Amino acid sequence: MKLTIKEIENKIHTLREEENKLRAFMHELQNDERTGVKKILMKHERALEAARLLRDRFDQMMVYEKEWTSLGKRMIAGLDEAGRGPLAGPVVAAAAILKPGTYIAGLNDSKMLSESRREELFEEIMKNTVSVGIGLVTAQEIDEINIYQASRKAMVKAVKALKVQPDHLLIDAMELPLAVTQSKIIKGDAKSVTIAAASIVAKVTRDRYMKQLHRIHPHYHFNTNMGYGTKEHLEALEKFGPVEEHRRSFSPVQQGSLL
């Protein structure tokens, strides 16, 4: 007796974590001529292909982790920062050590993801880390030492905030004054799983900070522009002048502070 459409959907749902069994069941359905069954097969074949592509992408982004693991490294931390370009707020860095064997579908450079997807992945990352460290450098410090040095300082603070000592660092386009081996990877947030994880943690952490800041200074709409120089932000800066969270060393803020 043939399964009903609903029964087929339910069985596929129960098998979705066992890919081999799912594919075998879907193969059995190939000779079913019912239109509803063919639609179900097409939908789930697309889903399996999408999942395969995500897995392939993840495996490609594990190349640096695999290389250093083969050399005996076990606690490999990825590092990235968020907030170099904004006119206001801190620069925030994150260091992340993922648990061995972790697979997080869709992990990518935070800039390539929607806000809702970053939030989802942030939760997955936090569940699958050995340790996460956050480093924050304020707008005032950025003005004192420049944004490049502030980004480095934030990354160093993030490493030192880890509860587990890393034995290698994978860093997005930077070298740090730390006594641990490290790899400087250009556009590393799109090439390394652990750097991508760090980029998402840094971005989500900073965005949450800016949303809190919006409650104190609503005129600047920090909850939507995250401190970047949008039209509404620049207009508010011209009208109200800068606040303590603005970076005085950044040109548009300098102009606003003279008004």
User: For residue 94, which of 64, 63, 124, 137 has the smallest C-alpha distance?
Assistant: 137
Give yes or no for a contact between 189 and 202, defined as CB atoms under 8 angstroms apart.
no
d(CA 85, CA 108): 20
User: For residue 178, which of 201, 197, 199, 161 has the smallest C-alpha distance?
Assistant: 161
Is 81 assigned to a binding site?
A: yes
The position carrying tokens 């974590």 is 17
d(CA 84, CA 154): 11
DSSP-derived 3-state class of residue 105: coil
Give yes or no for a contact between 245 and 139, defined as CB atoms under 8 angstroms apart.
yes
DSSP-derived 3-state class of residue 135: strand
d(CA 158, CA 135): 4
Is 172 assigned to a binding site?
A: yes
Binding site membership: which residues? Answer: 80-81, 172
Binding site membership for a divalent metal cation: which residues? Answer: 80-81, 172
